[in-house]
Structure 1
Amino acid sequence: MEKRSNKYHLELKELSLKDGSGGTKTLEFDFENHDDIFQILDVIKSKNIFSNEQTAREFALGLKLFTEVMLKNKQHHLFEELRPSIMEFMKKLKSQ
């Protein structure tokens, strides 16, 4: 049975740099995630984990992108030490 996942398109656009110059770079890519990222964004926002909505969005998106890569590469040695801590972190986050 084929695993089904949600498909997304992300566009990242450099607006300005810390040296005061204007940004010129962009990055676009499609990706899949087993979770509904927009639902996760709503849940994180509703839990008021962060006082700033922008921070909540950055946190949720970054976490979902990172953990999906980790799930898809379970056996990669890079994640060996981190995996147990991330699992504990996710349990704590979901219990809030």
Structure 2
Amino acid sequence: MTVEHLALPDGSPPPATQPLSFETGNHDDILAIAARMRQRGDLPEADATALAVGLKLFSEVMLQHRGLPLFADFAPHFKTFMQALKRGPAAAQTQP
């Protein structure tokens, strides 16, 4: 994966920086998940794609290191969020 700084918040060009590149794996098909997120229609396509990729990268690290105290308090909330997300846009909007 490669991440590049394309613009500052005001839209001006960023200072010259090297892209951040790394390799990672995932037990799911991230491309298919991103496509499903875009089809939900509750977020703009670019945001849906970013959310799908970000969640999958994060959740894979959390899964690999689930025994770490770092994730102990957050894991139950993440599970609840993911269940609502998987139920679809209408279900996610009705959650308190």
TM range (shorter): 0.7 to 0.9
2:8 equivalent among 6, 10, 17 = 17
SS state of the match for residue 32, structure 2? helix
Which residue pairs with 2:71 in the alignment?
79
Which residue pairs with 2:34 in the alignment?
41
TM-score w.r.t. length of structure 1: 0.81
> Partners in 2 of 1:59 and 1:21 — Cα distance?
24
TM-score w.r.t. length of structure 2: 0.81
> Partners in 1 of 2:57 and 2:28 — Cα distance?
10
Q: For residue 13 of structure 1, report the CA deviation from its aligned partner.
A: 1.3
Q: Greater helix percent: which structure? A: 2
Q: Which amino acid aligns with 2:29?
A: D
> Partners in 2 of 1:57 and 1:78 — Cα distance?
26
Q: For residue 58 of structure 1, report the CA deviation from its aligned partner.
A: 1.1
Which whole-Å deviations, capped at 9, do the CAs of 1:48-74 have from their partners, x for residues lacking one?
121x11111111111111111100001
Aligned residues: 86
Q: For residue 26 of structure 1, report the CA deviation from its aligned partner.
A: 0.9
- Asked if 1:30 is matched to 2:33, the reply is no
SS state of the match for residue 31, structure 1? coil
Percent identity of paired positions between Structure 1 and Structure 2: 36
> Partners in 2 of 1:16 and 1:43 — Cα distance?
28
Q: Greater strand percent: which structure? A: 1
Q: What are structure 2's unaligned runs of at least 5 residues? A: 89-96
